[in-house]
Amino acid sequence: MKKPSCQKGFILDGFPRTVVQAQKLDEMLQNQGVKVNKVLNFAIDDAILEERITGRWIHTYSVLGVDDVTGEPLIQCKDDTAAVLKSRLEAFHKQTES
Protein backbone atom coordinates (compact mmCIF):
# COMPACT_ATOMS: atom_id res chain seq x y z
CA MET A 1 0.00 0.00 0.00
CA LYS A 2 3.02 2.25 0.32
CA LYS A 3 4.09 1.72 -3.28
CA PRO A 4 3.68 4.64 -5.68
CA SER A 5 1.24 2.58 -7.76
CA CYS A 6 -1.15 2.55 -4.79
CA GLN A 7 -1.18 6.30 -4.23
CA LYS A 8 -4.46 6.75 -6.10
CA GLY A 9 -6.02 3.74 -4.43
CA PHE A 10 -5.82 0.00 -3.97
CA ILE A 11 -8.06 -3.03 -3.65
CA LEU A 12 -7.95 -5.55 -0.80
CA ASP A 13 -9.41 -8.83 -2.02
CA GLY A 14 -10.75 -11.09 0.73
CA PHE A 15 -9.30 -8.98 3.52
CA PRO A 16 -10.30 -8.12 6.14
CA ARG A 17 -12.44 -11.15 6.94
CA THR A 18 -13.11 -10.62 10.63
CA VAL A 19 -13.93 -7.69 12.91
CA VAL A 20 -10.50 -7.97 14.55
CA GLN A 21 -8.80 -7.84 11.14
CA ALA A 22 -10.90 -4.82 10.17
CA GLN A 23 -9.91 -3.04 13.38
CA LYS A 24 -6.23 -3.75 12.76
CA LEU A 25 -6.56 -2.53 9.18
CA ASP A 26 -8.20 0.69 10.39
CA GLU A 27 -5.32 1.22 12.85
CA MET A 28 -2.71 0.59 10.17
CA LEU A 29 -4.40 2.89 7.67
CA GLN A 30 -4.91 5.60 10.27
CA ASN A 31 -1.16 5.55 10.97
CA GLN A 32 -0.63 6.21 7.25
CA GLY A 33 -3.30 8.90 7.09
CA VAL A 34 -5.52 6.78 4.84
CA LYS A 35 -9.16 5.75 5.25
CA VAL A 36 -11.32 3.13 3.58
CA ASN A 37 -13.76 5.04 1.42
CA LYS A 38 -15.48 2.26 -0.52
CA VAL A 39 -16.44 -1.34 0.15
CA LEU A 40 -17.74 -3.75 -2.47
CA ASN A 41 -19.80 -6.72 -1.40
CA PHE A 42 -20.33 -9.36 -4.04
CA ALA A 43 -23.40 -11.30 -2.91
CA ILE A 44 -23.15 -14.76 -4.48
CA ASP A 45 -25.27 -17.75 -3.56
CA ASP A 46 -23.28 -20.40 -1.65
CA ALA A 47 -24.35 -23.09 -4.14
CA ILE A 48 -22.81 -21.14 -7.02
CA LEU A 49 -19.58 -20.75 -5.07
CA GLU A 50 -19.48 -24.50 -4.44
CA GLU A 51 -20.02 -25.24 -8.12
CA ARG A 52 -17.18 -22.91 -9.09
CA ILE A 53 -14.73 -24.10 -6.42
CA THR A 54 -15.25 -27.80 -6.98
CA GLY A 55 -15.00 -27.27 -10.74
CA ARG A 56 -11.49 -25.81 -10.62
CA TRP A 57 -8.79 -28.12 -11.94
CA ILE A 58 -5.12 -27.41 -12.57
CA HIS A 59 -3.36 -27.60 -15.97
CA THR A 60 -4.63 -26.40 -19.31
CA TYR A 61 -8.22 -26.98 -20.33
CA SER A 62 -9.23 -30.52 -21.13
CA VAL A 63 -12.39 -32.47 -21.66
CA LEU A 64 -10.78 -35.84 -21.12
CA GLY A 65 -9.41 -35.29 -17.61
CA VAL A 66 -5.82 -34.83 -18.81
CA ASP A 67 -3.77 -31.77 -19.72
CA ASP A 68 -4.15 -31.03 -23.44
CA VAL A 69 -0.46 -30.16 -23.75
CA THR A 70 1.43 -32.48 -21.38
CA GLY A 71 -0.99 -35.39 -21.07
CA GLU A 72 -0.71 -35.22 -17.28
CA PRO A 73 -3.85 -35.89 -15.25
CA LEU A 74 -5.73 -32.84 -14.05
CA ILE A 75 -5.51 -32.28 -10.31
CA GLN A 76 -7.55 -30.33 -7.84
CA CYS A 77 -6.13 -28.15 -5.04
CA LYS A 78 -6.84 -29.58 -1.60
CA ASP A 79 -8.73 -26.37 -0.75
CA ASP A 80 -11.06 -26.69 -3.75
CA THR A 81 -13.50 -29.10 -2.11
CA ALA A 82 -17.06 -28.73 -0.92
CA ALA A 83 -16.01 -29.50 2.69
CA VAL A 84 -13.34 -26.77 2.78
CA LEU A 85 -15.70 -24.29 1.13
CA LYS A 86 -18.43 -25.12 3.66
CA SER A 87 -16.03 -24.40 6.52
CA ARG A 88 -14.93 -21.12 4.95
CA LEU A 89 -18.51 -20.04 4.29
CA GLU A 90 -19.54 -20.83 7.87
CA ALA A 91 -16.69 -18.64 9.12
CA PHE A 92 -17.65 -15.93 6.62
CA HIS A 93 -21.30 -15.92 7.65
CA LYS A 94 -20.38 -15.77 11.37
CA GLN A 95 -17.39 -13.43 11.33
CA THR A 96 -17.63 -11.26 8.25
CA GLU A 97 -21.15 -10.99 6.97
CA SER A 98 -22.66 -9.69 10.19
Domain ranges of the chain: 1-40, 44-98
Residue 2 main-chain phi, psi, to 5 deg:
-90, -10
Q: What is the pLDDT of residue 32?
A: 85
User: Whole-model pTM above 0.85?
Assistant: no
Q: What is the DSSP letter of 22?
A: H
Which tens digits make up the pLDDT trace of 14-71?
888 888 898 999 999 999 888 888 888 888 999 999 998 888 777 655 566 777 778 7
81: helix, strand or coil: coil
